[in-house]
Amino acid sequence: MNEQSLHTDTVNDWITGYLTNSLTPEEMQSLQEWLNTSEENRKYFSDMQEVWIAASDEADNIVFNKERAYQLFLKQTEATTRQNINKHKFFQLRPWMYAAAMIIVVFICGTIAFQSGKRVLRNQLAQITIEAPYGSKTKLYLPDGTLVWLNAGSKMSYAQDFGINERLLDLSGEAYFEVTKNKHIPFKVHTDELDVKVLGTKFNFRNYKDDLEAKVCLLEGKVALNTRQKETILHPDQQALLDKKTGKLSVSGTKAAYSAEWKNDRLYFDEVLLSDIIKELERSYDVKITVADDTLNTVRFYGNFRKREQSIQEIMSVLSSTDKMAYTMNGKNIVITLP
């Protein structure tokens, strides 16, 4: 077996392992590096996915038989490998036959097997969801090597094939990202009101569903923010605040590193709305806070606290010392009133 065949066999083994969910982390990394090498490699991978889809569909149109699909896939990849090795010779001998065959294959796969097979593949490549419950945070690495810290009460989901053809995840809540650079596949974070697109950077993204504002703070690199209205570029030590009610996006300077201090069990509020501070305290200390007067929700506060060293009562005392509010506390129930 020549060097080309050996290389093709290795790549097919990686792709087979990927499609059958049996790749080791090292093999997944090798596959990603191979995909990043050239457009031709990514095209070959897409072709092999379609072969798998067609095999899956042939295996069973109603109940997906993974083992049967796997065997069919191996047979078809062997045929594809032989076709690639003899491709030049085949073109010389029967170019018109090759073109006709390709038209037939594309037509059949595109109109019959692909659509139903794509449904099977989507079911196989299910969404992966990670949640951080109230009172805790979660640290993890995505398949592409990106480091993520997920704050309390947050949820993140991404496709099982994350990092292969795209790097897209959905976020509800707050997360800090240290994105692995990949110029071929941008890293994208989607929320209901605001999207972020980067190539490689460090940033903190906060957008809980019940917050009045979405906030992005950039520590390193450059990101593009997309709302329904426009795109905005953010640079290091800048923060973007999106008023979710009006859709207005404002950019200002900040010490961005403070925005991710929650990873170190610190709570840092830089002119944050009391309504959003309350939600953060509820998530961090697992308490219930009620505001007796709605006018307090528009008041902003500055503060820097250590969760492990300061109790919720100590934090409430500090906030009330500004004479902007008062509070009463009964167990885990807190009521904030006008001073």
pTM exceeds 0.95:
no
Which residues touch 125 (CB under 8 Å, ≥6 apart)? 159, 160, 161
Which residues touch 184 (CB under 8 Å, ≥6 apart)? 35, 36, 42
Residue with tokens 């990927």: 18
Tell me the per-residue pLDDT of 206-256, one tens digit each, with 9 for 90 and over: 999 988 889 999 999 999 999 877 899 999 999 999 999 999 999 999 999
**Residue 148 dihedral angles phi and psi, to the nearest 5°:** -130, 130
Residue with tokens 């009521």: 335
Helix 66-85 crosses helix 39-59 at what angle (to 10 degrees)? 140
Tell me the per-residue pLDDT of 182-210, one tens digit each, with 9 for 90 and over: 988 999 999 999 999 997 899 999 999 98
Above pLDDT 90, what percent of the chain?
A: 42
State both tokens at 282.
């509820």
State both tokens at 4.
């080309």
Tell me the per-residue pLDDT of 270-316, one tens digit each, with 9 for 90 and over: 888 898 899 889 988 989 999 999 899 889 998 889 988 899 999 99
Residues paired with residue 130 on neighbouring β-strands, in sequence order: 156
Alpha-carbon distance 55 to 76, whole Å? 8
**Residue 333 dihedral angles phi and psi, to the nearest 5°:** -105, 125
Residue with tokens 């951080």: 132
Q: What is the mean pLDDT of residues 58-64?
A: 43
CA distances for 13 relative to 43, 71, 74, 210, 248, angstroms: 17, 13, 9, 46, 50
- Which parts of the chain are beta strand (E)? 127-132, 138-141, 147-150, 154-159, 167-178, 187-190, 195-198, 202-207, 213-220, 223-226, 231-234, 238-243, 249-253, 266-273, 288-291, 300-306, 326-330, 333-337
Buried b (16+ CB within 10 A) or exposed e, 59-84: beeeebeeeebbebbeebbeebbeee
Tell me the per-residue pLDDT of 139-195, one tens digit each, with 9 for 90 and over: 999 989 999 999 999 999 999 889 888 999 999 999 999 999 998 899 999 999 999
Does position 104 have pLDDT exceeding 70, yes or no? no
| Nearest C-alpha neighbor of 111 from the set 74, 57, 68, 49 | 57
Neighbours of 169 (CB within 10 A): 22
